[in-house]
Amino acid sequence: MLHVIIMAGGQGTRLWPESHKGRPKQFLPLKNGRPLVLDAAESLGDLVPHGQTFVVTGQSMVPLLREAVPWLPERNIIAEPVGRNTAPCIGLVAIHLLRDDPDAVMIVLPADHWIEPRSVFCDTIRFAVDLVEESPERLVTLAVQPTFASTSYGHIERSERINSPECQKWSHFASAYEVSRFHEKPDQQTAGQFLQSGRFGWNAGIFVWKAKRIYELIAEFQSDMGCGLKKIATAFGTNDYDAVLAREFQQMQSLSIDYAVLEKAESLVCIDVPFRWDDVGTWQALDRIHQGQHDSDGNLTTNARVIAVNSHNNIVRNTGPHKDIVLAGVDNLIIIQSEHGTLIADKSDEEAIRQAIGELLEKN
């Protein structure tokens, strides 16, 4: 049986001031007036029923999740007692699914990404599921064709093209490859080399695999984590469950699924995705996900009344109480205003934005 898993536990600090501890970015309406997590939960349409959609989030975010995705069954909300990155998160969901469905297939999606068109995304996931059903040992991930040299994304290095029966069936749509290696976020020079080689794709953080298989691999490569997950699974249905979950999850090492398992595992497969994708990780992403909505001078305005004179290529967004913003003789700025603060930054200096926000959050 297919199950969609939405990972919604991040803090989204790079989208300060609108994203903050009380309402991280996955609960913000950054594209179409709908929270990103709701878009993610409904991204596969009728392919997976609501009853087989699960969302993992922090305990403090559960009220925000109920508000954002009102149709989500209460039993399908999996609350982490503490944040421990994607490997413990995925392991926790896997043991939940295996209670009732030993043959469960997990479709793992981040809560805060933007994908279009959705019909093509659904077909890509169908292809991935077919690859897993063809060979249950497979771990399938999606590789996004780079459009620029990015230091913000991990990269997947492709190897040989796969020509199995399922790949031949889907050959008109997309290609699948053996994965040679996962690479951490590169420096600028290395990112440029990756782009020129044509062998690398961005790691979208979207995965399809058998729940049993990923649980076995976590236990194999991260034995302490595997032991903790086994103790949690043993406590299901008992009065001790909450206490065991809190104790064991707290003790788990904070590791990404890439580092904990994928960099060590075999039978990894990637599909070159034929859809548009963005992780909406920085304010610069608004330029990409709102293509065609800029004024004649290249300014993008959302949720704000803006007067722009001799100003070009700026991003302006305002969710604060005062809607009017005047631009005069400024270019290539990011101007974000909310009730929690104001960000004014050079659009091209992503590192300075990251550093400044980091210093602010540290002081607070």
Q: Output the six-digit token pair for 89.
A: 């998160």
SS3 19: coil
- Please name the residues in contact with 7: beta carbons below 8 A apart, sequence gap of 6 or more: 56, 86, 89, 90, 108, 109, 110, 111
Residue indicated by tokens 């398992």: 261
Q: Pick the closest to residue 207 from 218, 196, 195, 220 (CA basis).
A: 218
Domains and CATH numbers, the chain: 2-278 (3.90.550.10), 285-363 (no CATH)
Q: Pick the closest to residue 44 from 5, 86, 95 (CA basis).
A: 5
The reported pLDDT for the residue numbered 360 is 87
The reported pLDDT for the residue numbered 182 is 87
- The C-alpha atoms of residue 323 and residue 301 are separated, in whole angstroms, by 11
Beta bridge partners of 328: 309
The helices-and-strands tally (H runs, E runs) of the chain is 12, 17
- The C-alpha atoms of residue 251 and residue 236 are separated, in whole angstroms, by 18
The reported pLDDT for the residue numbered 112 is 87
- The C-alpha atoms of residue 49 and residue 44 are separated, in whole angstroms, by 9
Residue by residue, DSSP assigns 185-227 as PP-HHHHHHHHHHS-EEEEEEEEEEEHHHHHHHHHHH-HHHHH
- Please name the residues in contact with 275: beta carbons below 8 A apart, sequence gap of 6 or more: 115, 116, 117, 120, 121, 124
CB 308 within 8 A of CB 297: yes
pLDDT in tens, the chain (364 residues): 999 999 998 887 889 999 988 899 999 998 888 999 999 999 998 899 999 999 999 999 999 999 999 999 999 999 999 999 999 999 999 999 999 999 999 999 999 899 999 999 999 999 999 999 999 999 999 999 998 888 888 899 999 999 999 999 999 999 999 999 888 888 889 999 999 988 999 999 999 999 999 999 999 999 999 999 999 999 999 999 999 999 999 999 999 999 999 999 989 999 999 999 998 888 999 999 898 899 999 999 988 889 999 999 999 999 888 778 999 999 999 999 999 899 999 998 888 888 898 898 888 7
pLDDT 10s digits, 59-80:
999 999 999 999 999 999 999 9
Q: Output the six-digit token pair for 169.
A: 């069936």
Sign of the four-CA dihedral 237, 240, 246, 248: negative
- The C-alpha atoms of residue 357 and residue 360 are separated, in whole angstroms, by 5
- The C-alpha atoms of residue 361 and residue 20 are separated, in whole angstroms, by 10
The reported pLDDT for the residue numbered 42 is 95
The reported pLDDT for the residue numbered 324 is 86
The reported pLDDT for the residue numbered 153 is 86
Question: What's the CA angle centered on 12, arms 7 and 16, to 5 degrees?
Answer: 160
The reported pLDDT for the residue numbered 222 is 97
CA atoms within 13 A on the CB side of 72: 27
Q: Pick the closest to residue 332 from 354, 356, 355, 308 (CA basis).
A: 308
The reported pLDDT for the residue numbered 11 is 80
- Please name the residues in contact with 201: beta carbons below 8 A apart, sequence gap of 6 or more: 143, 144, 145, 146, 155, 156, 158, 270, 272, 273
